[in-house]
Amino acid sequence: MEKNISEIRDEINKVDAELLKAFEKRMSLANEVAEYKIKNNMPVYDRKREREILNRVEREAGDELGSYAKVLYSTLFQISRSYQLKKIENKSDLSGRIRNAVETTPRLFPKTAKVACQGVEGAYSQHACDRLFSNAQIAYYKTWEDAFKAVESGECKYGVLPLENSTAGTVNKVYDLLGKYKYYIVKSVRLKIYHSLLVKKGTKPEDIKEIVSHEQALSQCSKFLSDLDVKITTFENTAAAAQYVASSNRNDIAAIGSHDCTELYNLVSINDDIMNTDSNYTRFICVAKTLEVYPGAHKTSVMFKLPHRPGSLYDVLSKFRALDIDINKLESRPIPGRDFEFKFYLDMDTSVYNPDLYSLINELDNELEYFKYLGSYSEII
């Protein structure tokens, strides 16, 4: 007699109850293993043993179910390792440093400091800096790396740099610099960007033969530019482009930049409606050489490398799912000199007071070949 759906589901429920008991027993044994490893100073991850078990399980489950069994047991191993690492978290140097920073960082973000920005007065980095600090002493540098070096040398306490734009995407060079230098993100700000077409007084739209600006600004105004028959020249900064137009003896050149540059450089705006979209935001980060975690930190950023094998990214992302930690950005960057290998930059939304965050960081730091904690911080919107 054929079973009806209710009878089949009843049998599934019984199997699930047996699986749950077996799972509880397995996790209890995993706890015993963790205690043994703590006592004997052994690593949590035993790649050789896991590989042997996965191969055996796949083989014994047969052709039809082998790959599914392998996924099931891979997940079990991930959960087991996570559970064990919770037991030995107090031995993690990184977790300890983050907790110490939470306890020792001043309660209030500083109102004033010497801050490195790329560009010149009127740059969007300056506007971001003014949102972060009420009275910053800003030092301007020609390139983003020069700004990083100023923080490295101690010439500046902080650096403020653009990381991504809602229209033009990520600022790849800054991501690469985050991987190169040992800095921490201590704050971020989301700045609404307004671009204008800036010219010297007396210049008319029909006079313009060349437009200069930073590549990100040019990308954010690409629709406007596509209708023009003019030369496009990239500059290291929008404010530097405005400064160049102001100092030039030409009357056929324009810059794309902030409207504030009109007053700074004695220019005029002949078009304030040149962006691809009105919803144009750039996210700026404030970096420091020392680890600082201010109260209310609700974002954490990390960077890591993964082995070039199937499922490696899935294995990492499954840890976030297991701990119910939300990922709001995942960016990959190629590793120079290593074909088809990538670094991953990841932002997660969770409070720095969440104990699961420390478990996750501890787990990633223990398991991955390269793992870099970039900071926990709040973002001004």
CA–CA distance, 361 with 86 (Å, rounded to integer): 11
Q: In a 10 Å sphere around its CB, with 0-12 CB exposed, 13-18 middle and 19+ buried, how is residue 38 labelled? A: middle
Give the pair of three-digit tokens for residue 203. 């210049």
- Residue 356: the pLDDT is 87
CA–CA distance, 342 with 332 (Å, rounded to integer): 6
CA–CA distance, 344 with 333 (Å, rounded to integer): 6
- Residue 100: the pLDDT is 93
Identify the CA nearest to 213 among candidates 96, 117, 277, 124.
124
Domains of the chain: 5-87 (1.20.59.10), 110-193+282-292 (3.40.190.10), 196-271 (3.40.190.10), 293-381 (3.30.70.260)
- Residue 369: the pLDDT is 82
- If you count them, how many residues does the chain have? 381
- Residue 91: the pLDDT is 57
| Alpha-carbon torsion, ordered 17, 18, 20, 25, to 10 deg | 150
Q: Which residues pair with 232 in a beta bridge?
A: 211
Give the mean pLDDT per block of 10 residues along the chain (381 residues).
Answer: 85 93 91 82 78 90 90 84 69 83 94 92 90 93 93 95 85 87 94 91 91 91 91 90 92 91 91 86 94 95 84 82 88 73 89 90 84 94 87
Whether residue 143 contacts residue 118, with contact meaning beta carbons closer than 8 Å, is answered with yes
- Residue 308: the pLDDT is 73
Amino acid letter, 103: E
Return the sign of the alpha-carbon dihedral for residues 126, 123, 154, 303: positive
CA–CA distance, 139 with 118 (Å, rounded to integer): 8
- Where would I find the beta strands (DSSP E) of the chain? 114-118, 137-141, 158-165, 169-170, 184-192, 196-200, 210-213, 231-234, 253-257, 267-271, 281-288, 299-305, 326-334, 342-349, 370-377, 379-380
- Residue 21: the pLDDT is 94
CA–CA distance, 374 with 114 (Å, rounded to integer): 21
CA–CA distance, 197 with 212 (Å, rounded to integer): 10
CA–CA distance, 9 with 12 (Å, rounded to integer): 5
Contacting residues for 110 by C-beta, under 8 A, at least 6 apart = 133
- Residue 283: the pLDDT is 94
Identify the CA nearest to 197 among candidates 130, 89, 275, 108.
275
Q: In a 10 Å sphere around its CB, with 0-12 CB exposed, 13-18 middle and 19+ buried, how is residue 156 labelled? A: buried
Q: What is the DSSP string of 119-137?
A: SSTT-HHHHHHHHH-SS-E
